[in-house]
Chains A and B, each alone.
Chain A
């Protein structure tokens, strides 16, 4: 499926830190060229020239946390031929999904003096909970090279070349010695989606899962392994699975297998 000759691209922000859309502006070498190839019709952070839809491609950052945004994403979907969710917020609800399951009223009271001024939904949810999503790009933040690859694949009407193996595999490809085996460090590399080129281990730090779980991974068995062989307490492992993609299904499942008290 090919998009129209000079495709119209739009970039949308929902609850987020802006980091994923900033990746586009961080393409210092490619940005001006990209602006020739595509028609950037709506990118508020970068331009005050704004055109109405329909759009060929919408890049969507952030999660849904308000009633207003819930309506806005439906409209974005209606106006877009392809909708691409970029980043952990848009694909899993992001770090702000740590509120899910907690009392939002309590959260509001902790931060704001006048709870009555704040309107928000109970949960922070990914785009896929509200609309059909044509492609999901993982990461907190996404990898800008992958973003460019996804955009050019769409322009050329082919499938994006984005690998779906684990961070662990990338460590082997880079030749980084395994931190868990050689230094006894806790690492989520075996269950985390690739995309960062196994960055943290190359700095001597265990992966903390910012790209979220890879498809068909088994975080529960990693949790048991790390607990049995390295003696990592369950509370610490649960915490590790509750961060930037806390609501991703495999992580939720694994936390259920080892609830507090185990």
Chain B
């Protein structure tokens, strides 16, 4: 990697093509429309893809280290700052893990409100990804601003959806980014029935927009790719998973979330500041996120979402990563519908939170961030200070699979012109909505022919 040129400007479209008879080097300094910064390195020899690396140059922020010595009650607010796009996921996994450690059982009202809060984050985050980050790829635009010129009504609907998700976060959490009303054991203050009822009208409209989104994105052109993933997701017997469930996989795993570390490990590879997760049984990659949830729990989607998927001809078993945009749209329908259900059942009864005295203890939890499983484990000292903690975000779990996808996509398209292949690689990465800030990074694409490399050195 030559760092000399990336001091300033992101030049995703600035392709430096050093043409040579047999070789080419493509370099995209920073990948756009992903959350965070990283780099990609692809090495080919003739028609063979020799090496693919998704490099994450996240300047480490050391959350696990400085959480030591903080009070358990501070974990939801502190871990939220790992990611501005999915702060609720961090607040949920940390709260559940600490509650499990301390033996706190939350009330049904708190449980329902947490699902509602999560629906808000899913709507906001999926709305952002579908309309602002991913759709432009399929239609050949650089961003949502130019997309809006071509599809003004569609984009307005998408922005309304996203705004409705944010509205849930604002009413229930106090604000959209880093909500302040969440604490271990529940909430600082329960919303009133009237406050939640005010969300009904916008949510009804948002649900219609979500249905329209499914129709719209299912008409996009999809490359014909089928990947043989090992999907991993939470699965709950009665509902589409958000905060609870068993950890299941398409290869037959079914364990309690607290057993996560016995089955999944993390390794530290040189090219990435984010740890790479793998299955302990065989060291292989796996996939978390919307595609995994849909394939493993699609039967738990509400009728309206299942119908939308059927109408869009989305197969029950969907193995095409490019179609994850349809799955996100289907999950948008689910999240709006679930939010409406929770709001109409809401009674504002019981205490806003449940507490327990601190003791030395340990516990872990997994909840479903929009991008996939978020695991957190805490060990507390008797005075409630955090002695040790571990956080495994979705993007580090998907890193290897993204590399495998890239390998497959480059191999299948190796004859494509450079610019097109580059675009296809970027789209491949965006399929999994990497939330690279669940760290912080630097994404850079290089496709280098081995013959050329040897010539250079």
List chain A positions with a Cβ less than 8 A from chain B: 13-23, 25-26, 28-29, 31-32, 35, 40, 42-50, 52-53, 62, 65-66, 68-69, 71-72, 75-76, 79, 94-96, 98-99, 102, 106-108, 110-114, 117-118, 120, 140-141, 196, 199-200, 202-205, 208, 210, 239, 243-244
Contacts and interface: CB of A to CB of B under 8 A. Distances in A.
For the complex of A and B, the 4 pairs showing the least CB-CB separation, nearest first, are A19-B84, A47-B143, A48-B32, A49-B142
A45 to B, nearest CB: 6
Contact of B268 (A31, A114, A205, A210): A114
B124 to A, nearest CB: 8
Contact of B188 (A18, A53, A69, A205): A205
Contact of B13 (A48, A110, A200, A208): A48
Contacts, number: 205
A236 to B, nearest CB: 8
B181 A113 contact: no
Given A99-B62, A203-B174, A112 B84 contact: no
A96 B8 contact: no
A191 B69 CA distance: 25
Interface string B259-282: 000000001111001010000000
A26 B8 CA distance: 26
A50 B78 contact: no
B132 A32 contact: no
9 contacts: A19-B81, A44-B12, A46-B132, A52-B11, A96-B66, A99-B66, A141-B84, A199-B174, A243-B74
Contacts of B143: 43, 46-49
A31 B269 CA distance: 39
Interface of B: 3, 7-14, 30-37, 59-62, 64-66, 68, 70-71, 74, 77-78, 81-85, 87, 124, 128, 132, 136, 142-146, 148, 155, 159-160, 162-163, 166, 174-178, 180-181, 188-189, 267-270, 273, 275, 426, 437, 440
Contacts of B132: 25, 46
B13 A49 contact: yes
A203 B81 contact: no
Contacts of A45: 32-35
B417 to A, nearest CB: 17
Question: Which of the listed residues B13, B177, B189 has the most CB atoms from chain A within 10 Å of its own CB?
Answer: B177
A23 B31 CA distance: 20
Question: Which of the listed residues B82, B85, B146 has the most CB atoms from chain A within 10 Å of its own CB?
Answer: B85
Question: Which of the listed residues B68, B71, B181 has the most CB atoms from chain A within 10 Å of its own CB?
Answer: B181
B84 A22 contact: yes
Nearest to B166: A26
A29 B189 contact: no
Question: Which of the listed residues B34, B36, B70, B180 has the most CB atoms from chain A within 10 Å of its own CB?
Answer: B180
Contacts of A35: 145
A256 to B, nearest CB: 19
A100 to B, nearest CB: 10
Contacts of A15: 59, 61, 440
A208 B188 CA distance: 14
Contacts of B267: 113
A32 B160 CA distance: 13
A113 B268 contact: yes
B180 A203 contact: yes
Given A28-B159, A28-B166, A203-B188, A117 B268 contact: yes
A48 B84 contact: no
Contacts of A94: 81
A44 B7 CA distance: 15
Nearest to B70: A239
Contact of A53 (B9, B35, B70, B159): B9
Given A18-B85, A45-B33, A99 B13 contact: no
B189 A17 contact: no
A108 B74 CA distance: 22
Contact of A107 (B66, B145, B270): B66
Nearest to A208: B77
A112 B85 CA distance: 24
A28 B270 contact: no
Contacts of B159: 28-29, 31-32
Contact of A18 (B14, B74, B83): B83
Contacts of B155: 32
Question: Which of the listed residues A22, A43, A48, A202 has the most CB atoms from chain B within 10 Å of its own CB?
Answer: A48
B60 A118 contact: yes
Given A49-B146, A95-B78, 11 more contacts: A16-B437, A16-B440, A28-B160, A45-B33, A46-B32, A50-B14, A94-B81, A111-B60, A199-B174, A203-B180, A208-B77
Contacts of B64: 110-111
A255 to B, nearest CB: 15
A19 B70 CA distance: 23
A4 to B, nearest CB: 19
Contacts of A42: 9-10
A32 B148 contact: yes
A28 B162 contact: yes
Nearest to B169: A26
A46 B33 contact: yes
A176 to B, nearest CB: 12
Contact of B142 (A48, A98, A102, A244): A48
